[in-house]
């Protein structure tokens, strides 16, 4: 189980603001009737989910992430998120109170899904394809209140412009090993490579877990994260987000799944 850490202590005294925030978060955890379970082994998603200020557990979802013949990248990704949530929900069915969150992130260029590279050579080819171009990063969320319930689903999309990095920079980055477990063969948060320039959408989505989209869905289950999500996310990612207000107040996610929502 993942919990919040205690607020900072200096010279034996707790900062008044930190104490007030900590007490509020602890009260919310104690009164939360439906524990959360993240259907993912991703350390990045665990860290981002922790910003909500809610206690949660995490379990890897054992599914085959392989698109069906003729299945579009976005449809496949939505199915993967749904199947991840369902698989973990069935595993923990003995605890019917848990709410399971499934997520799947995909990098798409020219309508083609770019998954995790099989080796260094494929990572180099992928980064060369992405160089100096704009692509899309999608994250599908699927939330199950019970194994038999209809999932709450949402889709986030962010346009990502890549800078014109050099072949030497690619080689150095690939040798670090960082791109080998990343969809699209890059991590936007890598401070040495810095692959992205002038992002105007959801940074957390490009990392694989759009927190404001998730918050909007949790509210439908009467779960209000105790943390100020936009502030916590921007502070953690060191990014001034221009879209969180639109995400948190936008229409229901069904329009997003129908492809009618602008990129966030």
Residue 173 burial (10 A CB sphere; 0-12, 13-18, 19+)? buried
Half-sphere exposure of 10 (CA within 13 A, CB side): 5
Looking up tokens 């319930």, which residue turns up? Answer: 149
- Is domain 32-257 annotated with CATH 2.60.120.10? no
Secondary structure (DSSP) of 65-88: --PPTT--HHHHHHHHHHHHHHHH
The whole model's pTM is what? 0.82
Domain segments of the chain: what residues? 32-257
Tell me the helix, strand and coil percentages in the chain, rounded to 5: 40, 20, 45
pLDDT at 81: 97
pLDDT at 188: 96
Q: Check if the beta carbon of residue 101 is closer than 8 Å to that of residue 39.
A: yes
104 is catalytic: yes
pLDDT at 251: 65
Q: Which of 15, 104, 110, 171 is catalytic?
A: 104
CA–CA distance from 208 to each of 16, 46, 87, 102, 186 (Å)?
34, 10, 19, 11, 12
pLDDT at 92: 84
Per residue of the chain (264 residues), give pLDDT as tens. 554 443 343 334 445 555 555 544 444 444 345 789 999 989 999 999 999 999 999 999 999 988 999 999 999 999 999 999 999 998 887 556 789 999 999 999 999 999 899 999 999 999 999 999 999 999 999 999 887 889 999 999 999 999 999 999 999 999 999 999 999 999 999 999 999 988 999 999 999 999 999 999 999 999 999 999 999 999 999 999 999 999 998 765 544 443 334 566
Looking up tokens 């019970």, which residue turns up? Answer: 146
SS3 string, 228-243, reads CHHHHHHHHHCCCCCC
């Amino acid at each position: 189980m993942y919990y919040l850490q205690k607020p900072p202590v200096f010279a034996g005294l707790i900062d008044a603001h930190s104490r007030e925030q900590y007490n509020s978060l602890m009260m919310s955890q104690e009164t939360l009737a439906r524990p959360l379970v993240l259907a993912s082994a991703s350390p990045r998603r665990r860290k981002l989910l922790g910003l909500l200020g809610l206690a949660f557990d995490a379990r890897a979802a054992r599914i085959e992430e392989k698109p069906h013949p003729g299945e579009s990248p976005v449809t496949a990704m939505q199915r993967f998120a749904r199947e991840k949530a369902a698989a973990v929900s069935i595993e923990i069915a003995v605890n019917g109170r848990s709410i399971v969150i499934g997520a799947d992130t995909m990098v798409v260029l020219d309508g083609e899904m770019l998954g995790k590279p099989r080796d260094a050579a494929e990572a180099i080819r992928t980064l060369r394809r992405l160089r100096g171009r704009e692509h899309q990063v999608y994250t599908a969320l699927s939330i199950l209140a019970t194994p038999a319930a209809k999932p709450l689903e949402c889709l986030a999309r962010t346009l990502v412009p890549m800078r014109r990095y050099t072949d030497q920079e690619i080689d150095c980055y690939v040798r670090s090993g960082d791109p080998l477990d990343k969809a699209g063969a890059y991590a936007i948060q890598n401070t040495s490579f810095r692959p992205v320039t002038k992002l105007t959408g959801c940074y957390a989505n490009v990392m694989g877990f759009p927190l404001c989209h998730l918050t909007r869905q949790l509210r439908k289950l009467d779960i209000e994260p105790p943390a100020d999500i936009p502030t916590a996310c921007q502070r953690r990612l060191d990014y001034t987000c221009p879209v969180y207000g639109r995400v948190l107040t936008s229409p229901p996610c069904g329009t997003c799944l129908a492809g009618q929502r602008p990129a966030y």
